[in-house]
Amino acid sequence: MAGSVKEPLNGMREQTAAVRPLLACGAIGPLLFIVVFLIEGVTRADYNPLRYPVSSLAIGASGWTQAANFLITGALLLTFAFGLRHVLGGSRGGTWGPLLIGLTGAGLFGAGIFTTDPVFGYPRGAPLILAQYSTHGHLHDFFSLLFFAGLPIACFVFCRRFATAGEPGWAIYSILTALGMLAAFILASMGFTQNPGFVNFAGLFQRLSISIGLIWIALLALRFMRMTFHKDML
């Protein structure tokens, strides 16, 4: 009898250990993305990170770095979504939460495949506003929308989950993340339309929106990784 109980427990621990690397992808990907676009932004010639969008770093001969950043981070978030689905199972938010995180990763991955159009004055000589976007420019914007819309919605889903589970701290943090992302995104969008009061800081507001959301994902991943360690100790 003791042996029959021990075997299922060992099996559960093996499954938990197997999912932990998937969850780690959710901590690594966001931090990698932020570090890369910050370094690229301050080292790229003729590029002003306060004014220009992150996507513009994928343009030109050196654009492969940011394109790879999109692809790698997107793949890591998709992997994290699979791990999250495994951990949450059929619990509240266990379907829509991982799905929306997965869409966020797919958005970054697609943004890496389809490069944005030269616009907003970068590279030098590019128009401030395009009269006609290319097909790949439209596709880039579509995949970007999956990120900027999907991630705040994911925050709302997890806010409800944490509130129901009696974790008010995480519930409040999740709702503030969603609102902060959306507010910064709106300010960035106003700047990218060349609104005089926001144009010089459009890139900064976009980076703030991205960072608020990605840091939430990284901390979420660490939270669920810690939860798997606690399960192993039981």
pLDDT digits (tens, 9 = 90+) for 170-225: 999 999 999 999 999 999 999 999 999 999 999 999 999 999 999 999 999 999 99
Range of the domain at 201: 2-233
pTM for this prediction: 0.90
Q: Which residues does 15 contact at the CB level (< 8 Å), separation at least 6? A: 86
Q: What percent of the chain has pLDDT over 70?
A: 91
Quick one: which of 218, 223, 116, 97 has its CA closest to 156? 97
Quote the pLDDT of residue 15.
Answer: 62
Per the structure, the count of domains in the chain is 1
Give, to the nearest 10 degrees, the angle between helix 96-113 and helix 2-43. 40
